[in-house]
Structure 1
Amino acid sequence: MSAELKITLVRSAIGQSEKMKGRLLGMGLTKREKTVTLQDTPEIRGMIAKVAHLVRVEE
């Protein structure tokens, strides 16, 4: 079983670029304080790195 990450959107995507909004949507984060659980993959880690100032990650 691979590790999972718990990702919470802590800041709004308002005013962010369309690319950043797309990354958040790709992870299933649509509203502030929404939390999703995703598999720990290099693709997800890359998306998190690009929007790190908007999300909180728990392992």
Structure 2
Amino acid sequence: MAPTAKKTIKLKQIGSPIRRPEHQKKILIGLGLGKMNRVVERQDTAEVRGAVAKLPHMVAIID
């Protein structure tokens, strides 16, 4: 069997975690973010999409 290519999305942190609830900071760390303007590439899964949906004011999908 040939390996199937997984779809990925690029996430960019656009908001600061300063003065945000602790659970929002933990979601950012779980996504691999934590510093402003950092960009990471993650697999396009329901779990990642759900985490991004919880932080629309701090994370943007750029690709």
TM range (shorter): over 0.9
Specify the alignment match of 1:34 in structure 2: 38
1:12 equivalenced with 2:16 (yes/no): yes
Residue equivalent to 1:43: 47
Could you say what secondary structure the match of 1:38 adopts? strand
1:56 match: secondary structure: strand
Task: Using structure 2 for the length normalisation, give the TM-score.
Answer: 0.88
Q: How many residues align?
A: 59
Stretches of structure 1 that go unaligned for 5 or more consecutive residues are none
Deviations 1:14-48 (A, max 9, x none): 11110000000000101000000000001000100
List runs of 5+ in structure 2 lacking aligned partners.
none
Structure 1 runs (4+) deviating above 4 angstroms are none
Aligned-residue RMSD, C-alpha: 0.8
